[in-house]
A and B are shown apart, each in its own frame.
Chain A
Amino acid sequence: MTSKLFLALLLLPFSGLAQDDPAGVDMLDTAVVVVAPPTSVIAVDHKYDKGERIDLTWVPSIDDQLVEGKVLAYRIYRIVNDGGPQLVADVATGVGPYQYADEDLHRDSIYSYYVAAVSSNYEAASTRTAPMSPQREWMNLDRKWLFLIALIVGGSVLLFITAARRGTKLFVRKIAGLEAVDEAVGRATEMGRPILFVPGIRDMDDVQTLAALTILGRVSRVIADYDTRIFMPTSRSLVMTAGRETVKAAYQAAGRPDKYSDDMVTYYTDEQFGYVAAVDGVMVREKPATVFLLGAFFAESLILAETGNYIGAIQIGGTARPAQLPFFIAACDFTLIGEELFAASAYLSGEPMQLGSLKGQDVGKAIAMIAIIVGAVAITIGEAWDVEFMHDIVTWLSGVFSTR
């Protein structure tokens, strides 16, 4: 008891509880659960952030390591610019590593910390860490591999664009869905029926909607030339505005600005199924000869595509949502699968520079293929025969392609 009392008195100046409580010494008589403080409290600047975070680690109190349940929690105290200590957080014991990330700090302040082990009625504080300020880094080196891969893929796209500009012949495989665009527009013209263009249900911040608009640009040029009617219902106001600009510009470029009307592109509702009901209604009433379903689609894909099929329209579907592709493949005449949607405008333009950009994607695919094959072989051999070197390869590859 005397040694415990001595230890407690020794720790008294560091203990927040004892300082706050004038009856602290009296409490020692009533079975105080004295615990040893945590040690080796280290504060380090969080790497690769904008200077807002300090990471703390500590070695748990010896009492926590020896007796379960004696230390209830660790209290983190922060001292800012030589001010008084502020309680920042309680960290539970026994779960996970002993660490804490102090966030939302300022680069121009100086911080030091101490951690206290808390028992049911006692608090033992560690020594203070050296004063420090969080640092701001200008490059996130955790993402160096991402940077490198982006550089290689982006660089190769640029390289092939340059090569194409110099006149190198590039082969791009035939995409049936895009070969059919002219025919589909021609069919509508012959039948004297309109074309329906559905740009998906997402807004302009979805790259699939952008892809749909680039195709709309090409399609409306053909439409303007043939003088066919186009109807484009949208489920987002911004898509309506952008769609109008695109169609209008195509009519102007074709020398027929007078044929353009704002009624070609209209807005219905943001509500997913409300929009579907409206578009289905248009399909059944207007009976378009050709239906384009290009962009981001969700559960409505099959409802739209089946209605299009029912009215006997030629349908060209395309989306980068893998879950909806099977529905388009089942119900549309042609389907642009994922990347084909993004390639469509370049393909339709037939310009060497645009085709060059498609060729650049192949380098990315080659990297992906090599990584998949090497990874699959390494993990198979590594697991089957426990080869250290193969494990290393797997770890390295996971590190390279990790997004954290």
Chain B
Amino acid sequence: MFKRRIPLFILAFVGTLLIVSVFIPPMENLGEDFTLFFDIIAVFAFFLGGGNLVRIHFGKLRRRKKDWGFSIVTLVAFFFMLTIGLLKVSSVGGVWNIPLLGIGDPAAIAASPTTEGSWFQETFNYVINPLQSTMYALLAFFVASASYRAFRAKNREATLLLLAAFIILLGRTPFGMELTRWVPESFSVLQIPNMAIWIMNSPNLAGQRAILIGIGLGVVSMSLRLILGIERSYLGEDRG
């Protein structure tokens, strides 16, 4: 019973306090303070997350479960980064520094793990960076396949969407400008790049604002349900 009631009480208390604090100057910084508390808790929670990752992949490896090869990659990468970060391994111009093991310059222990020449930073620059960019670049391919499937003139609304997409896609290229360069300057709004900006700025903006207002109100309503303890599904309860 207490296991349910205590979280509900904390939620109701902190929620109400933070709402009230907006209107009371001496309590104004409470929101920032709680954000800091949260960050501290989140940092400790990482031990749970990291521990869980290691446990699961060791388990997979031990039981030779399907795709256990990937687990080796994960574990090696995890411990490699952890080691070079914690030990502050660095090598500049052939000189090795592992201050925690007494190799090289002992003063390097105070250096940030992201200083030039540190293995941590080098791995970041030459492994993580390109990997991140690769994942991000996948978007170019997926945007194409998603547009091919989604933009079909199935009804009136879809046709409007299709037209807007056409203008925006053309408007984002010099090609769009070339197509309508002949339009006189006094009708420049009819040039495709300007039409694209108009679409973004007017119909799109109106729609986004409506969605944002809805979101704001949705957040208010959900927060009140949580604070009042009516919404308890996150505690696994079906009834309020």
Chain A residues close to B by CB (< 8 Å): 48-51, 136-140, 143, 146-147, 150, 153-154, 157-158, 161, 203-205, 207, 210-211, 213-218, 220-221, 234, 236-238, 240-242, 245-253, 262-263, 266-274, 276-277, 281, 285, 299-300, 302-303, 305-306, 309, 320, 322, 325, 327, 329-331, 337-343, 345-346, 349, 351, 353-354, 357-358, 360-361, 364-365, 368
Contacts and interface: CB of A to CB of B under 8 A. Distances in A.
Which of B25, B41, B53 gathers most chain A CB within 10 Å?
B25
Nearest to B57: A266
A interface: dominant SS:
helix
Contact of A302 (B132, B146, B220, B226): B146
Contact of B222 (A210, A268, A271, A331): A210
A158 B225 contact: no
B145 interface: yes
B211 A338 contact: yes
Contacts of A251: 236
B33 interface: no
A327 B26 CA distance: 44
Given A263-B56, A349-B240, A358 B221 contact: yes
Interface string B135-166: 11011001101110110000000000000000
Contacts of B103: none
Interface of B: 19, 22-26, 28, 35, 38, 41-42, 45-50, 52-53, 56, 66-67, 70, 128, 131-132, 135-136, 138-139, 142-143, 145-147, 149-150, 208, 211-226, 228, 230-240
Contact of B224 (A238, A250, A267, A357): A357
Contacts of B228: 158, 161
Contacts, number: 234
Contacts of A342: 215, 218-219, 221-222
Nearest to A160: B221
A268 to B, nearest CB: 7
Nearest to A277: B135
Contact of A143 (B22, B67, B132): B22
Contact of A349 (B233, B234, B236): B233
Nearest to A213: B234
Given A211-B222, A342-B222, A242 B25 contact: no
Contacts of B217: 153, 339, 361, 364-365, 368
Contacts of A276: 135
Nearest to B236: A249
A349 B216 CA distance: 22
A320 B215 contact: yes
A217 B213 CA distance: 26
Given A303-B138, A303-B142, A346-B225, A217 B234 contact: yes
Given A299-B136, A299-B139, A331-B150, A139 B222 contact: no
Contacts of A207: 219, 222-223
A368 B220 CA distance: 14
A157 B231 contact: no
Contacts of A330: 146-147, 149-150
Contacts of A146: 22-23
Given A210-B222, A241-B45, A302-B139, 5 more contacts: A217-B233, A217-B237, A253-B237, A320-B219, A330-B146
